[in-house]
Copies of this chain bind each other. A is one copy, B any other.
Amino acid sequence: MSAPARRRRGAELERAIRRAVITLVTTRGPAGVTMEAVAAEAGTSKPVLYRRWPDRAALLRDTLLHTAGRAVPTPDTGTYRGDLLAVLRGWAATLTDPATAPVVAAIVAALQQDAELRDAFRDSVIGWRKAEMARLIARGIERGELRPDVPVEFARELGQGVLWHRFLITGDPIDDGVVVRIVDEIVMPFVAARP
Which residues does A use to contact B, with CB under 8 Å? 29-31, 105-106, 108-113, 118, 122, 126, 130, 151, 153-154, 157-158, 160-162, 164-166, 168-172, 181-182, 185-186, 189-190
> Is B118 within 8 A of A109, CB to CB?
no
Main DSSP-derived SS at the A contact region = helix
Give the complex CA separation of A109 and B118 in angstroms. 13
- Which chain B residue has the least Cβ–Cβ distance from A190? B186
Give the complex CA separation of A170 and B161 in angstroms. 10
* CB-contact partner of A161 in B110, B113, B126, B161, under 8 A: B161
Shortest A2–chain B CB gap in Å is: 32
* CB-contact partner of A108 in B112, B186, B190, under 8 A: B112
User: Can you offer 18 A-B residue contacts whose CB atoms are under 8 A?
Assistant: A31-B31, A105-B113, A106-B113, A108-B109, A108-B168, A108-B169, A109-B112, A109-B113, A118-B171, A122-B170, A126-B170, A154-B182, A157-B162, A164-B165, A164-B169, A165-B165, A189-B190, A190-B190
Shortest A10–chain B CB gap in Å is: 33
